[in-house]
Structure 1
Amino acid sequence: MVETATGFVLGAVIGSIATAAGSYLLYWKRERDAARRLRQALAEELRSYDYVDELVADGGYERVTERVEAPVIYESAAGDLGRLTDEEIDGLVAFYAGVRWLHGLEDPEDKKARIEAVVEKRRAALDALE
Structure 2
Amino acid sequence: MAGIATGLVLGSLVGAVATAAGSYFVFRRRRRAETDHLRLAFRTELEALSYVADLAEEGRYEALAASVEPPQVYENNADRVGHLTDDEVEALVAFYTDLYWLRDQQDIEDKKERADEVAREWHEAVEAVRAAG
TM range (shorter): over 0.9
Structure 2 gap segments, 5+ residues each: none
Q: Which residue of 1 aligns with 2:108?
A: 108
Q: Partner letter of residue 97 of structure 2? A: A
**Residue 89 (1) aligns with residue 54 (2):** no
Q: Which residue of 1 aligns with 2:66?
A: 66
Q: Which residue of 2 aligns with 1:36?
A: 36
> Alpha carbon RMSD of aligned pairs, Å?
1.1
For 1:55 and 1:67, locate their aligned partners in 2 and report how far apart those are by CA, in whole Å.
10
CA drift at 1:14: 0.6
After superposition, residues 39-50 of structure 1 pair within 5 angstroms as 39-50=39-50
Q: Which residue of 2 aligns with 1:23?
A: 23
Question: 3-state DSSP class of the match of 1:3?
Answer: helix
Structure 1 gap segments, 5+ residues each: none
For 2:54 and 2:119, locate their aligned partners in 1 and report how far apart those are by CA, in whole Å.
10
Structure 1 residue ranges, 4+ long, deviating more than 3 angstroms after superposition: none
Q: Partner letter of residue 112 of structure 2? A: K
* Identical-residue share of aligned pairs (%): 42
CA drift at 1:24: 0.7
TM-score by length of 2: 0.92
Q: Partner letter of residue 25 of structure 1? A: F
Count of equivalent residues? 130
CA drift at 1:7: 1.1
CA drift at 1:104: 3.6
Q: Partner letter of residue 105 of structure 2? A: L
Deviation track 1:65-119 (CA, whole Å, cap 9, x = no partner) reads 1011110010001111121122211111110111111114132222111101101
